[in-house]
Amino acid sequence: MDLSNLKPAEGSTKTRKRIGRGQGSGRGGTSTRGHKGAKSRSGYSKKIGFEGGQMPLQRRVPKFGFKNINRVEYKAINIDVLQLLAEKKNLTVIDVETLYEAGFISKNDRVKILGNGNITAKIEVKAHAFSKSAVSAIEAAQGTVVKL
């Protein structure tokens, strides 16, 4: 065996259709495109959403709603998560960096502390926003709240 007699495995390759090579080939004449119409012409490409002249879906359905460009999204963290983190890592200060390192948030997330669960650890919590119930729960455990 050498390079001159290498062949692909039997049945692994197909010969391509040679379109428009005369009537005798069986694929001459209209070249498998049928008769007339836009699809038979060269350079045809239909627009996205074109429905053959019928009013397209995106024009039939009315517009509604809008995206508020000033919206600020927060990642919600409950105080029971803070309690867990304080116990596990023996922390007195929990800030955005601590939550990022623990894997609770992504790098550029804004954080809001919510009051679900209960907290007993005396910790200083630094975040972008707090719910009223979270603030009262943290302060009831002699902790402090710092808004960033």
Q: What is the pLDDT of residue 125?
A: 94
Which residue's structure tokens are 């809001």? 112
Burial 103-138 (b: 16+ CB within 10 A, else e): ebbeeebebbbbbeeebebebebbbeebbeebbebb
Question: Is the Cβ–Cβ distance between 148 and 129 less than 8 Å?
Answer: no
Residue 143's SS3 state is coil
Q: What is the pLDDT along the chain (148 residues), one digit of tens a residue?
A: 799 999 999 999 999 999 999 999 999 999 999 999 999 999 999 999 999 899 999 999 999 999 999 999 999 999 999 999 999 999 899 999 999 999 999 999 999 999 999 999 899 999 999 999 999 999 999 999 999 8
State the virtual CA torsion across 106, 142, 135, 101 in degrees, nearest 10. Answer: 0
Please give the CATH topology (third level) of the domain spanning 74-147: Ribosomal Protein L15; Chain: K; domain 2 (3.100.10)
Question: Is the Cβ–Cβ distance between 92 and 98 less than 8 Å?
Answer: no
Region of 139 on the Ramachandran plot (φ > 0 left; ψ -120 to 50 alpha; else beta): alpha
User: What's the CA gap between 73 and 132, in Å, rounded?
Assistant: 18
The domain segmentation of the chain, as residue ranges, is 74-147
0.85 exceeded by the pTM? Answer: no
Taking Cα atoms as reference points, which of 114, 123, 116 lies closest to residue 144? 123
Residue 82's SS3 state is helix
